[in-house]
Structure 1
Amino acid sequence: MTGEGLRRWSSVPAIAAVLFQLGVLYAPSGAGSAPFPNFDKLVHCAVFALPVFFAVLARLPMAPVIAVLAVHAPVSEFIQATLLPNRSGDPWDVVADLVGVTLGAAAARFALHRRPTAGSAT
């Protein structure tokens, strides 16, 4: 497979993660009862970490990816609070989102630095 074809396919997990994130954040109602207190904060963290992680692994530029998702965090809470009648906004969800962005970027950097380069011994 050519470099361009490989890059195109490497974007698929990032696209899937963004679509999953949008579904979680903008579903008309919440997912129901949580298995433990503050479970939703864990979900928020994960749905922001995964798109960052996979986008950076797909070699998208890290700074714009982080910027877009960092801006999306408060915007999504504002939309939930004002436009989705069965949802509410929570400032602590924004904090969890931003923690997720940070963790996703850190995990992606770690994974990229751990990858062997072509031609190197493993």
Structure 2
Amino acid sequence: MTPAPTTRATTSHQTLRPAPGRTVRVAAAAAALVGLAVHLWGLYRDHGPPSVPWFPQADKLEHLVGFGLPCFLVLLALHLHVARRGQLLSGRAVALVVGLFVLHAGVSEVVQGELYTTRSGDPADALADVVGTALGLAAYLLLRRRAAHGRA
């Protein structure tokens, strides 16, 4: 008699319920690529975004979303890629993605401040970038928890 499949494991490669189909995985990968392209365009175009009169320092919200959403989309696409094998994305892979976004937060501000005459680097922007990355990670971890328990 074959033992019943389990939905729990002791490693970071936990078994999941059946993964979404190829169309969903491709759509998630495409969304991640578009998110990264917009992210890079916004950070490295030769001029900053127009000033938005919503409230003072509204650009910090743009930085927060500009890092949080692409971070989440990349983690989601990678999650779906490994989920097709019935596994969760490893903690090392998650840490690598998040670490790259955090590193990019600082690098992008230095580049804007040093290499552009029409832009400036702002430590507060870098902080907003890191907070956005943390929110993207938190959203991914919530999704991952739900997926591990079969509710995603």
TM-score scaled to structure 1, two decimals?
Answer: 0.85
**1:108 alignment counterpart:** 140
- 1:52 and 2:52 equivalent? no
Percent identity over the alignment is 39
- 1:26 and 2:77 equivalent? no
Structure 1 Cα separation of the partners of residues 96 and 107 of structure 2: 16
Can you list the C-alpha shifts for 1:41-93, whole angstroms capped at 9, x where unaligned? 10011111011111111116311110111100010000000111100000011
Count of residue pairs brought into register by the alignment: 118
**2:117 alignment counterpart:** 85
Structure 1 Cα separation of the partners of residues 24 and 61 of structure 2: 32
- 1:42 and 2:61 equivalent? yes
Q: Cα offset for 1:6?
A: 4.8
Structure 1 Cα separation of the partners of residues 98 and 35 of structure 2: 14
**CA RMSD after TM alignment:** 2.2
Can you list the C-alpha shifts for 1:9-38, whole angstroms capped at 9, x where unaligned? 421111111111111111111122222211
**Please, which runs of 5 or more residues in structure 1 have no aligned partner?**
none
Structure 2 Cα separation of the partners of residues 112 and 12 of structure 1: 20
**Please, which runs of 5 or more residues in structure 2 have no aligned partner?**
1-19, 80-88
If you compute each CA radius of gyration, which structure gives the higher value, 1 or 2? 2
